[in-house]
């Protein structure tokens, strides 16, 4: 876990809590979020509560680190989430490759969203930048990636402002951005 207070521009990063479920439902229903990211089939309040209940299990299993971007009143205004390769593979072979990659290099994939009331203030850019520095330092990751639809201009700007650079195109057409730990040092 990153140290408390690691956010940016007045925000903090913290674990998901039961009381955040309505904000998650709001995000799952937001046209911008649904346009650019794959949400679950079930977007109801009970589904959000179940997803939040699984937060710590995903973290301790090394599958994901999903954190709330909280405003000064400690209310959820967005999310930044890290998934590891182990979370992506579905076949035994993919899982084997993922485990190998995770052990060899500890590469993580980042995603993010803001609720409409959190947008337009640099909160995503500053949070992704701060979280990435921590992940590549004390978090022990060697590189981070982000896959973004080429038309998602606002998210591309977030990645670039946080220091990510374009490194290729995924088979599905998404632009791949990457940020690596500088040789012999921290990000």
Q: Are 48 and 85 in contact (CB under 8 A)?
A: no
- Alpha carbons within 13 angstroms on the beta-carbon side of residue 101 total 17
> Per-residue contact track with ligand COA, 124 to 153, x per CB under 6 A?
xx----------------------x---x-
- Nearest CB to ligand COA, comparing residues 111 and 139: 111
Residue 9 CA to its chain's centroid (Å) = 18
125/132 with CB nearer ligand COA: 125
Among 58, 119, 143, 163, binds ligand COA (CB under 6 A): 119
**Of 84-92, 96-104, 119-127, 130-138, which part binds ligand COA (CB under 6 A)?**
119-127
Q: How far is the CB of 100 from ligand COA (least distance, A)?
A: 26
**DSSP element (H, E) containing 49:** helix 45-53
Min separation Cβ 73 and ligand COA, Å:
18
Among residues 74, 62, 69, the alpha carbon closest in space to that of 98 is found at 62
CB-based contact 7:69 (threshold 8 Å) = yes
């Amino acid at each position: 876990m990153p140290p408390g207070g690691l956010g940016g521009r007045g925000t903090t990063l913290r674990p998901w809590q039961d009381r955040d479920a309505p904000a998650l439902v709001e995000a799952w229903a937001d046209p911008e979020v649904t346009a650019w990211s794959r949400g679950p089939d079930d977007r109801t309040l009970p589904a959000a509560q179940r997803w939040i209940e699984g937060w710590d299990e995903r973290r301790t299993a090394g599958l994901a680190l999903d954190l709330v971007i909280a405003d000064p009143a400690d209310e959820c205004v967005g999310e930044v989430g890290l998934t590891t390769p182990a979370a992506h593979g579905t076949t035994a072979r993919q899982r084997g490759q993922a485990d190998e990659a995770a052990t060899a290099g500890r590469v993580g994939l980042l995603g993010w969203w803001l609720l409409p009331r959190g947008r337009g203030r640099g909160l995503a850019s500053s949070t992704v930048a701060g979280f990435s520095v921590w992940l590549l330092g004390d978090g022990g990751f060697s590189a981070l990636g982000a896959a973004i639809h080429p038309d998602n201009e606002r998210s591309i700007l977030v990645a670039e402002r946080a220091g990510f650079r374009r490194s290729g195109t995924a088979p599905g057409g998404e632009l791949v951005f990457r940020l690596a730990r500088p040789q012999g040092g921290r990000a």
